[in-house]
Amino acid sequence: MTTHTQEIQQARQRRWVLIGITVVFIIAAVAYGFYFEQVLTKREQTDNAYVNGNVVTLSSQVAGTVLEIGADETQLVQSGAVVLKLDALDSDVAFAQSQARLGAAVRSQRERYALVSQFDATVALRRLDLKKAQDDLSRRLPLADDHTLSDEEIAHARQAVTDSQALLNVALKQAEAARSGIAGVDIAHNPSVLTAKAEFMQSWLAVRRNAIHAPISGYVAKRNVQVGSRVTPGSPLMTIVPIDLLWVDANFKESELRNIRVGQPALIEADVYGSKVEYHGKVLGLSVGTGTAFSLLPAQNATGNWIKVVQRVPVRIALDPKELAEHPLRIGLSTVATVDTHDTSGTILGAAMPASPAFITSALAQPMDQAESEAKAIIASNLVTD
């Protein structure tokens, strides 16, 4: 009896243990189902995500030979710092020539303006000659009636009036032509002087542009030039990357974009730091095309042999600048991006262009008022008469 009772009790205990295990599994399944419904289905994750940023390619605006390199790869440069210097000899010579041309243009226009007064004086002289010839003819005509003067002398007097009138007409046309070239403007604002002034300011800019400034603060990622190299306008010289303004391009499958919206929070884990460091960001926008749509050789699906391939769409995720400062990233690093899709009230496409510029630099601005002052000084010095 005792053994049978023990067996019954053991059977009951096993039954309760099995029931307990079953209940635990049921609770775990319910909990996982709740977690799956409320958490896992409310986020999208991809490890096809990489750090990206602005890659600023520095180029020259003038031709020249590199004499000095101020920064090398991996070094930090500040906005406005001189990172390259070109040989300024050619531009200095061109600048001197432009100064001479501006002065010559002013003096040439002074001569033209003076000719107007000369032509006006000639007109006045021709009027006097005409008046004199007319008076002579008037005095001779009464004497011709009584044959005091011969017909030949009267004819000569008439011819003198005609010649004086013709000379006056020529002088008037010359004066009109001279005035048409200077009408409405003074010497300083004459088109020829303004053209020479513009050439002077262009050469003034060329002299200053022999010193190449960094447009932004950042690290030199790539240097493509050596001392002694001959550079031309537009040729890439150096690449600068501002690492305080980076983002993540997460490439989600097209089936994962259903609930992704602009403004949703995101967690980023970079392989360089591991799971110990998390970056908190937000979705800035979704690309308007897949990666293959903008590739050099886009896919041609209108063919006989076609295999469906799941496409991926880049999603831009902004990063917190403070977290970037604490744990710097670099362009191209691999990351894992997780987007929280609980809130789907945002837009699918990105925001409109902001009213203010998204990026701006004042490091490349030139003091054009200084060039204007120098040009005015040259014009004024050549307008002075002894």
How many angstroms separate the CA atoms of 344 and 307, rounded?
33
pLDDT at res. 150 = 67
Q: Are the beta carbons of 59 and 233 closer than 8 angstroms?
A: yes
CA proximity to 281, closest of 36, 51, 48: 51
Segment among 35-44, 87-96, 119-128 with least mean pLDDT: 35-44
pLDDT in tens, 238-251: 999 998 889 999 99
d(CA 55, CA 60): 16
pLDDT in tens, 139-160: 777 766 666 666 677 777 778 8
**Average pLDDT along the chain:** 85
DSSP state of 214: P
Query: If pLDDT is split at 50, 70 and 90, which confidence band does 39 have?
Result: low
What b/e string do you get for 49-78 counting C-beta neighbours within 10 Å, with b at 16 or more? bbbbbeebebebebebebeebbbeeeeebe
Among the residues of 250-296, which ranges form H helices? none
Q: What is the mean pLDDT of residues 87-108?
A: 93
Per-residue pLDDT tens over the stretch 184-209: 778 888 888 999 999 999 999 999 99
If pLDDT is split at 50, 70 and 90, which confidence band does 27 have?
confident
Residue 281 has pLDDT above 90, yes or no: yes
Report pLDDT digits (tens) over 98-113.
999 999 999 888 888 8
Question: In the predicted model, what is the mean pLDDT of residues 276-283?
Answer: 93
With H, G, I as helix, E, B as strand and everything else as coil, classify residue 154.
helix
Model's pTM, two decimal places? 0.73
- Is the predicted pLDDT of residue 49 greater than 80, yes or no? yes
pLDDT band, very low/low/confident/very high, at 8 (cuts 50, 70, 90): confident
Per-residue pLDDT, 282: 94
DSSP string, 338-383: EEE-S---S-SSPPPPPSS-SS---TT---HHHHHHHHHHHHHHHH
Longest dimension (CA), the chain: 188
What digits encode the pLDDT tens for the residues 291-325?
Answer: 777 777 777 777 767 777 888 999 999 999 999 99
pLDDT of residue 338: 93
pLDDT of amino acid 146: 64
Residue 271 contacts by C-beta under 8 Å, 6 or more apart in sequence? Answer: 333, 334, 335, 336
Instruction: Give residue 307's pLDDT.
Output: 77
